[in-house]
Structure 1
Amino acid sequence: MKVHFVIHESFEATGAYEAWARDRGLEIGHSRLHDHEPLPRTIDGIDLLVVMGGPQSPSTTREECPHFDAAAECALIAQCAGAGKAVVGVCLGAQLLGEAMGARHGHSPEKEIGKFPITLTAAGRANGKFAHFGDTLEVGHWHGDMPGLTGDAQIIAASEGCPRQIIEYGELVYGFQCHMEFTPEVVERLIAASGQELESLAAHRFVQRPDVLRAHAWDDMNRKLYGFLDRLMEAYAGRRRCLDGERPENGPEDAARGKSIH
């Protein structure tokens, strides 16, 4: 199986997502947009698309950020989702995912930077991919916006500062406003890139100081992310086997093409 990462900035690192892929021996591809690497020209061969975060928003223009093309990313996301690929959006990636599904992003009620608990909703507790999360889980945050909701989207988890932390847009399509990929190295990159931002936001109740951010342990959260990704790819493999059974005369790509997850 192949995982393809869309990366907007060097300091918005793939962290535990890529560590999971390497640990599972998966093939890995990258579109490092900040280094002017292109988006994939074809989705053939991609099994899981992971779109990472960034300081941009889905409304950021090419004039404002020449290496960021929201429309092109949304088209890629929609193509992957429509072809039955697994798709995960993280922070900005989650907002782009919502846009690709037809839902406008918005501002979160609170800025969140640090480690704070999320609480699973009834839909989240009923979803087997999150059974190992428990009712609440401490996770990483670094955002001021949040993804939009389609008519059939399910909110899996929320926090006190943001009502849309994890969203299911389809059986294989999930948006994570929270950052379960954080590791000490990823957090250090974000702190270095934040400049005076953390100091200017010090009065916000869900913004933690750099020394507090550096003191957090992220291992348990990373293990929970691994568990989710394992279950997601099990569901993807099951869907592919089902499609192969339905269309035995065609190859797996032909069977997946034209099948919507919605």
Structure 2
Amino acid sequence: MSKVVVLQHVAHEGPGRIPAVLRDFGIQTEVRHLYKGDEVPSDLDEIRALVVLGGSMGVADVGSEKFPFLAKEVDLLKRLVAADRAVLGICLGAQLLAHAAGAKVYPNVKMAPGGPGQPPKPVEPTEPLPEFGWAPVSFPFPGGTEPIVFGMTDGAPMFHWHYDTFDLPKLPPPAEAKPGGPPPPTGNALLSSTAKCRNQAFRFKNRLFGFQYHFEFTEKDIDQVLSTNRADVDKHMGDYGAAQIRDETKKYYVRYARLGERLLKNWVQFLRVYEETL
């Protein structure tokens, strides 16, 4: 029987509430601990859906001897992208999915407003703009009408932990495209943004989803991430950054957990409907 396979990259970023939510739908989950030597799956017939979690490494580490599983993951994701098979990437997982789909992944930096009709441009010299801790996300139209984000509201508090961002993957232009004609379909939808990072979540094709922010964590998961990465917090948020994150966790967690479970349930229900129409 096919199952949802979850790929975990580091000990302190586990699947959180994902297995419990899927269990409520009668869906079997298998967590593979890649950092312990578990294998990246190769047989697509064994995978009903793939969930790729976060981690301290990045797309720049693909091919590194230190993280040999990353290259295998990207190869697997390329096959899943080509087949439009169900994938949910979270944080690093979203970056790996975007990379496998041909999009650029790069450090998130401070942006300056562009001129009339022009997109924002990086501030020179470039200034890193990581996101650590809590920040509200928005659901811009038309991405906010996507089934996976039904029930979400602008300003929903989500937990962020990343240095990098990504472009949205795009379908290759059709061979018969003519100059001056309508723009070719991109195959993507922007689902979420924050003030610091525009491309927070996306859908590509029909069943490929990437979320830069975490919506799956338990309170224990958040504390483990914070404790493990305390040096990053102190560097970018100052001596009181960790205390601020912990205070905000007490304030936001109940709502965050409810919204996160809503996202997961939306994902499962969307995939079930999609499978029934095939």
TM-score grouping bracket, smaller chain normalisation = 0.7 to 0.9
8 Å Cα contact 1:11-1:186 kept in structure 2? yes
Which residues of structure 2 form unaligned runs of 5+?
110-128, 171-185
Residue 17 to residue 147, structure 1, CA distance change in 2 (3 Å):
farther
Compute the displacement of 1:195 (Å).
4.2
What is residue 271 of structure 2 aligned with on the other side? 236
Which secondary structure does the structure 2 equivalent of 1:47 belong to?
strand
Please state if 1:18 is matched with 2:19: yes
Compute the displacement of 1:179 (Å).
0.8
* Superposition pairs of residues 171-250 of structure 1, within 5 angstroms: 171-203=206-238, 209-215=241-247, 216=249, 217-243=252-278
Once residues 190 and 68 of structure 1 are traced to their aligned partners in structure 2, the CA distance between those partners, rounded to angstroms, is 23
Q: Tell me the TM-score normalized by structure 1.
A: 0.83
What is residue 149 of structure 2 aligned with on the other side? 130
Q: Which moved more, 1:220-229 or 1:117-126?
A: 220-229
Residue 233 to residue 83, structure 1, CA distance change in 2 (3 Å):
farther
Compute the displacement of 1:62 (Å).
4.5
What is residue 132 of structure 2 aligned with on the other side? 113
Q: Which moved more, 1:104-113 or 1:18-27?
A: 18-27
* Superposition pairs of residues 1-262 of structure 1, within 5 angstroms: 2-63=3-64, 65=66, 67-109=67-109, 110-151=129-170, 152=186, 153-203=188-238, 209-215=241-247, 216=249, 217-243=252-278
8 Å Cα contact 1:113-1:208 kept in structure 2? no
Which secondary structure does the structure 2 equivalent of 1:49 belong to?
strand
Compute the displacement of 1:208 (Å).
7.1
Once residues 239 and 14 of structure 1 are traced to their aligned partners in structure 2, the CA distance between those partners, rounded to angstroms, is 24
Once residues 42 and 142 of structure 1 are traced to their aligned partners in structure 2, the CA distance between those partners, rounded to angstroms, is 31
The one-character-per-residue Cα deviations of 1:211-232 (angstroms, maximum 9, x if unpaired) are 2222313232222222222222
Which secondary structure does the structure 2 equivalent of 1:120 belong to?
coil
Once residues 208 and 117 of structure 1 are traced to their aligned partners in structure 2, the CA distance between those partners, rounded to angstroms, is 20
- Work out the number of aligned pairs and report it: 239
Once residues 176 and 145 of structure 1 are traced to their aligned partners in structure 2, the CA distance between those partners, rounded to angstroms, is 12
What is residue 174 of structure 2 aligned with on the other side? none
Compute the displacement of 1:162 (Å).
0.6
Q: Which moved more, 1:184-193 or 1:194-203?
A: 194-203
RMSD (CA atoms)? 2.0
Q: Tell me the TM-score normalized by structure 2.
A: 0.79
Which secondary structure does the structure 2 equivalent of 1:159 belong to?
coil
Q: Which moved more, 1:191-200 or 1:48-57?
A: 191-200
Identity of aligned residues (%): 25
8 Å Cα contact 2:42-2:76 kept in structure 1? no
Q: Which moved more, 1:161-170 or 1:214-223?
A: 214-223
Residue 161 to residue 128, structure 1, CA distance change in 2 (3 Å):
same
The one-character-per-residue Cα deviations of 1:54-87 (angstroms, maximum 9, x if unpaired) are 111111144462x343331112122233334321
Once residues 149 and 64 of structure 2 are traced to their aligned partners in structure 1, the CA distance between those partners, rounded to angstroms, is 40
Q: Which moved more, 1:30-39 or 1:67-76?
A: 67-76
What is residue 115 of structure 2 aligned with on the other side? none
Residue 140 to residue 208, structure 1, CA distance change in 2 (3 Å):
farther
8 Å Cα contact 1:94-1:177 kept in structure 2? yes
8 Å Cα contact 1:147-1:177 kept in structure 2? no
8 Å Cα contact 1:182-1:218 kept in structure 2? no
Once residues 74 and 62 of structure 2 are traced to their aligned partners in structure 1, the CA distance between those partners, rounded to angstroms, is 14
Which secondary structure does the structure 1 equivalent of 2:59 belong to?
coil
